[in-house]
């Protein structure tokens, strides 16, 4: 019983990781980013993560920017963007460097 639960948990975790690593490939170019009006940061040390167009399966939809706290000192935010590849566009998620 414990082996079965452990096996199921490991398989589920593996599927979740592989699903999140899948590339989003779209043949339609994304629209230009919207100009956002930033509100004041909620506190000291916050970094602005700009908004971006996400693909919802049939069209682009805007995801607004947010203020985020860096995970460690001197971390830099690499913004989300669309990169042109192989006759289409691939979404590159924002991440910390």
* pTM across the whole model: 0.72
Residue-level pLDDT at 2: 46
Asked if residue 16 belongs to a domain, the reply is no
Mean pLDDT in the chain? Answer: 84
Whole-number Å distance between alpha carbons of 17 and 48: 27
pLDDT digits (tens, 9 = 90+) for 32-54: 999 999 999 999 999 999 999 99
Asked if residue 61 belongs to a domain, the reply is yes
pLDDT digits (tens, 9 = 90+) for 5-19: 333 333 443 433 334
Whole-number Å distance between alpha carbons of 36 and 33: 9
Number of domains in the chain: 1
Does 1 or 71 have the greater pLDDT score?
71
Instruction: With a cut of 50, say whether residue 4 has pLDDT above it.
Output: no
Asked if residue 52 belongs to a domain, the reply is yes
Whole-number Å distance between alpha carbons of 60 and 32: 11
């Amino acid at each position: 019983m414990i082996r079965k639960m452990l096996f199921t948990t490991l398989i589920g975790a593996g599927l979740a990781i592989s699903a999140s690593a899948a590339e989003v490939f779209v043949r339609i170019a994304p629209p230009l980013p919207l100009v956002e009006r930033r509100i004041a940061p909620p506190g000291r040390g916050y970094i602005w993560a700009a908004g971006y167009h996400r693909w919802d399966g049939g069209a682009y939809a805007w995801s607004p920017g947010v203020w985020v706290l860096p995970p460690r000192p001197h971390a830099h935010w690499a913004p989300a963007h669309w990169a042109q590849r192989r006759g289409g566009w691939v979404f590159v998620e924002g991440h910390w460097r």
